Each structure stands twice: as C-alpha cells, then as structure tokens.
Amino acid sequence: MARLFKPLTMRAVTLPNRVVVSPMSQYSAVNGVANDWHFAHLSRFALGGAGLVFTEATAVEERGRRTPGDLGLWKDEQIEPLRRITRFIKANGAVPGIQISHAGRKASERRPWHGNRCLDQEDVTERGEHPWETIGPTDEPFGQHWHAPMAMTEATIREVLDAFAATARRAVAAGFEVIDLYGGHGFLMHQFLSPACNTRTDTYGGTAQNRQRFGLEVIDAVRREWPERFPLFYRISAVDWADGGLQMDEATAFAEQAYAHGVDVMDVSTGGIGGSAKRQNIPIGPAFQAPLAGEIREKTRKHTMAVGFIRTAQEAEGVLQAEQADLVAIAREILYDPNWALHAAQVLGVDEEFSLWPPEFGWWLNGRARALKKLGQPGTFFSGTASTLLDLSERKKG
Ligand SMILES: Cc1cc2nc3c(=O)[nH]c(=O)nc-3n(C[C@H](O)[C@H](O)[C@H](O)COP(=O)(O)O)c2cc1C
C-alpha cells in the first residue's frame, strides 16, 4: 500500500491520508472575516480527497495581517464563517486545520497582484486601504522603501502572546482540529529566530537560545489553550538562503525545543527573511526542501511535513518512502488540480474504482471508466500534471 494513503494518528486525531493542503493566502477577506470564497476554496480540497486541509495564514491580531485581505481570528465575530467551513470539511472526510500567524515587520503589504510592496498612498487613493503601524523584533524594515516597524517591548511581546492564545481558543470554537504556527517565510516568529534579522540585545536576541525564546513562548501560549487531544504543527524556514542567516544546525536545535514544548510536526519550508542580508541562490527543484525535513526527522526522531515543489504522486510517495517526512503538503499543484489527492490515489493504485471519491461523483466516473474499457478505449484521466497522465486500463495490464 502506498504510504501516501496510510492514515496517521496524532494525539486523538486521525488523518485519513498523508496529503495536506498547504496554507494558501487568498487575500480576499474583508475585516479578516471568511466569506463564500474561502468556503468554496477550502471545501473543494476536502471533496478532492486531501487528508488535512489548512486555511491560509490567519492573523492573531489586526496589525499582524500581511495584507488588508488576510483572514483573521482576533475577534469572536470571525468564528462563525470559519465554523461553516470546518463543518463541511469534516462532513466530507478530511480534517480541518488552521494556520495562525503574525506578520510582524512584513505586515501592511499590498496583495501580490497589486504589486509586491508595502501599502502606500496609491492604495489609499485607489482602494481606500491605509497602511498601518507594524511591529518587529527591531526597527529594521523588511525591505528597501518599506515602513520601519516599531521595535517590540516586553509589554508588546506579552500582548502578542496573549493574542496567539486567544486565537487558539477561538480556533477550538471554530471547529479546527490542527493548528499550524506560522514560524517561517519572514513572519514574526521567524524574525525573532533568524540571526539575519534579530539583533536585539535583551533576553529575546543575540544568542541562539535567546532568539528561540519568542517562538517557544508562542508554542507555550497556544498549548495552554489548544486541547491536548489536538496536534500542533510549526512551519519553520529551516534556512534563510541569506548570508549570516539561519542554518540547519540552529533550525534543528529549535525543532528539538519545539517538540519538547508540545509541537507534534515540524512543517519544513525555507526562505523569506528579507532585510539587508545578502541573498543566496535558492536551489529550486522537485521536492527540494524535503531533505531538510528529512534531516530534522532523522535527528529528532519526530514527525515532519515536507513542502515545496512536490508535483506528482510519485514525488510525494518518494518523499515518504525516503523517510524524509510523515506528511506531504501541496500548494500550487493542488490549486491547479483540487482533486490532486484522488488522482494520486489512482496513480499509486489504491483506488481503482473511484471508491475514495464522493459517491455523487465516483459512481458516475466508475461507470464511465467501465464503458470506456468495453469500447476498448483507455479510461484516461488527467491527473494534475502532464507528466502523470493516467491510463487506468493500461496500468491494470502493467
Ligand atoms: C497562493 C499562495 C498563497 C500562499 N500563502 C501561504 C500562507 O498563507 N502561509 C504559508 O505558510 N505559506 C503560503 N504559501 C506557500 C505555500 O504554502 C507553499 O509552502 C509553497 O507554495 C511551496 O509549495 P508548492 O511548490 O506546492 O506550491 C502560499 C503559496 C501560494 C501559491
């Protein structure tokens, strides 16, 4: 049996398979509230057979949004539309997860399709969207021509920790069963962990141990509110791809601490720190970040999730077979093909008769495949990428 379709139980939650929908911001919320777009976007991945469906980065406080269109869970009114989504995901056999986040100095940005830069007068004039004051470990901005954040005091740090805890409490009320803490891609926890960004001189900066402190305090704050029975993930940027940036030895040391503080899965990505550090080339290629997840998994003997340029069913299965990760997160490929998981099950030979599909679809598709076979035609389906065109009848013969 393909590993990709083996269930995984963590704490009291069982994922029906190892295909995870990676968090993907839609920048389409108003005042942080989920709407029909989010419902349709996330629901179709549950219909498409993914085991765990994560929401996009969901802000724990208003100033922690990356853009004006980010989802939020900083007030109770934001709970109900999310509960509608989790109800549907659960009713269709998947587990609903939420990524919770604070963008720190990377907040107050435009939506990507309006141009990759911070909000300015043009956004005020054209869209009525005003920049807001941001916070960070120091006052160094995320990029050139970006607003300078306010360096966080101990009181601000406590405020943000309380916001994470309160959001975890609301996530329970909204029906989520997994939380992913957004500690990568240059967001606030990453800003504290990375030596390329955190030059504080107090107990939150300087040494590796001090730079770990904020992230670990977030884990503690969330764990206090997040029930024991629910798993906690932590997305880390394991390397910065920047001179003087985070490297694997520090990332692994952080992961060890994170697991000890109650994290169940390290979700291993890379990059995004920004600032003045000189960037290195990123060796993008198929599953290029999976070896880093593998290194953390091997050293800590705990669960990891791989993400990044995993496109085909075979690549995903390969990551699991190589014991680099226990779960595989897919983003762009599953946007392209929301039925990616169901197609992968067919490619890997675990669903010959569409039995994993919702019966409303599967019953007809199975009949179609049988009719094609009788006609001597291949029951060809397009499984997400041109490289995995699937011919069910051919595969059966082979
Ligand atoms: C539309 C879009 C939005 C994204 N938003 C988030 C996000 O909210 N949080 C996050 O951790 N990563 C986000 N990412 C990164 C993905 O989760 C993933 O790590 C990255 O796209 C690499 O995986 P892929 O090659 O399968 O796309 C986003 C990616 C895309 C394409």
Q: Which of 19, 21, 22 to mutate to test the pocket of ligand 1 (most atoms within 8 A of CB)?
A: 22
Query: Which pair of tokens denotes residue 323?
Result: 């014991």
Please choose, from the candidates 97, 102, 92, 83, the residue with its C-alpha nearest in 3D space to the C-alpha of residue 52.
97
Cβ atoms 341, 51 nearer than 8 A: yes
Give the model's pLDDT for residue 394: 52
Give the model's pLDDT for residue 397: 44
**309 in ligand 1 pocket by Cβ < 6 Å?**
yes
Closest atom of ligand 1 relative to the 309 alpha carbon = 25
**106 in ligand 1 pocket by Cβ < 6 Å?**
no
| Dihedral over Cα of 344, 347, 350, 352: its sign | positive
The list of the chain residues with pLDDT below 50 reads: 383-388, 393, 396-398
Burial of 121 per CB tally in 10 Å (0-12, 13-18, 19+): exposed
**192 in ligand 1 pocket by Cβ < 6 Å?**
no
**99 in ligand 1 pocket by Cβ < 6 Å?**
yes
Please choose, from the candidates 249, 179, 177, the residue with its C-alpha nearest in 3D space to the C-alpha of residue 219.
179
**CA 377, CA 386: separation in Å to the nearest integer?**
19
**308 in ligand 1 pocket by Cβ < 6 Å?**
yes
Name the residue at shortest CA distance from atom 3 of ligand 1. Answer: 24
| Counts for the chain of helices (H) and strands (E), in that order | 13, 15
**100 in ligand 1 pocket by Cβ < 6 Å?**
no
**CA 84, CA 26: separation in Å to the nearest integer?**
18
Q: Which of 19, 21, 25 to mutate to test the pocket of ligand 1 (most atoms within 8 A of CB)?
A: 25
Closest atom of ligand 1 relative to the 310 alpha carbon = 26
Cβ atoms 267, 257 nearer than 8 A: no
**57 in ligand 1 pocket by Cβ < 6 Å?**
yes
Q: Amino acid identity of 38?
A: H
**CA 34, CA 9: separation in Å to the nearest integer?**
29
**361 in ligand 1 pocket by Cβ < 6 Å?**
no
Give the model's pLDDT for residue 378: 67
Q: Which residue has the tokens 């899965």?
A: 265
Find the 165 Cα to ligand 1 centroid distance in Å. 24
Please choose, from the candidates 249, 261, 169, 252, the residue with its C-alpha nearest in 3D space to the C-alpha of residue 215.
261
Query: Which pair of tokens denotes residue 320?
Result: 């699991």
* Helix or strand (DSSP H, E) at 237: strand 232-237
Quote the distance between the C-alpha of residue 223 and its chain's center: 19
- The strand ranges marked E within 2-136 are 8-10, 13-15, 19-21, 52-59, 71-72, 95-101, 135-136
Q: What is the pLDDT of residues 199-219, one digit of tens each?
A: 999 999 999 999 999 999 999
Cβ atoms 264, 232 nearer than 8 A: yes
**According to DSSP H, which parts of 92-153 are helical?**
121-127
Name the residue at shortest CA distance from atom 23 of ligand 1. Answer: 308
Is 290 in a helix, a strand, or coil?
A: helix
Query: Which pair of tokens denotes residue 255?
Result: 């992961």
**158 in ligand 1 pocket by Cβ < 6 Å?**
no
Closest atom of ligand 1 relative to the 307 alpha carbon = 23
Closest atom of ligand 1 relative to the 334 alpha carbon = 26
Half-sphere CA count of 335, side-chain side, radius 13 A: 9
**272 in ligand 1 pocket by Cβ < 6 Å?**
no
Name the residue at shortest CA distance from atom 1 of ligand 1. Answer: 24
Find the 25 Cα to ligand 1 centroid distance in Å. 7
Find the 185 Cα to ligand 1 centroid distance in Å. 10
Cβ atoms 252, 296 nearer than 8 A: yes
Give the model's pLDDT for residue 383: 46
Please choose, from the candidates 145, 160, 61, the residue with its C-alpha nearest in 3D space to the C-alpha of residue 109.
145
DSSP string, 72-83: E-SSGGGHHHHH
**According to DSSP H, which parts of the chain are helical?**
36-47, 79-91, 121-127, 154-173, 188-193, 208-225, 248-260, 290-300, 313-321, 332-336, 340-347, 359-374, 392-397
Find the 306 Cα to ligand 1 centroid distance in Å. 12
Cβ atoms 235, 187 nearer than 8 A: no
Is 183 in a helix, a strand, or coil?
A: strand
Please choose, from the candidates 171, 2, 24, 155, the residue with its C-alpha nearest in 3D space to the C-alpha of residue 83.
171
**What is this structure's pTM?**
0.96
Name the residue at shortest CA distance from atom 14 of ligand 1. Answer: 24
Please choose, from the candidates 148, 54, 137, the residue with its C-alpha nearest in 3D space to the C-alpha of residue 99.
54
* 208-225 vs 248-260: helix crossing angle, rounded to 10: 30
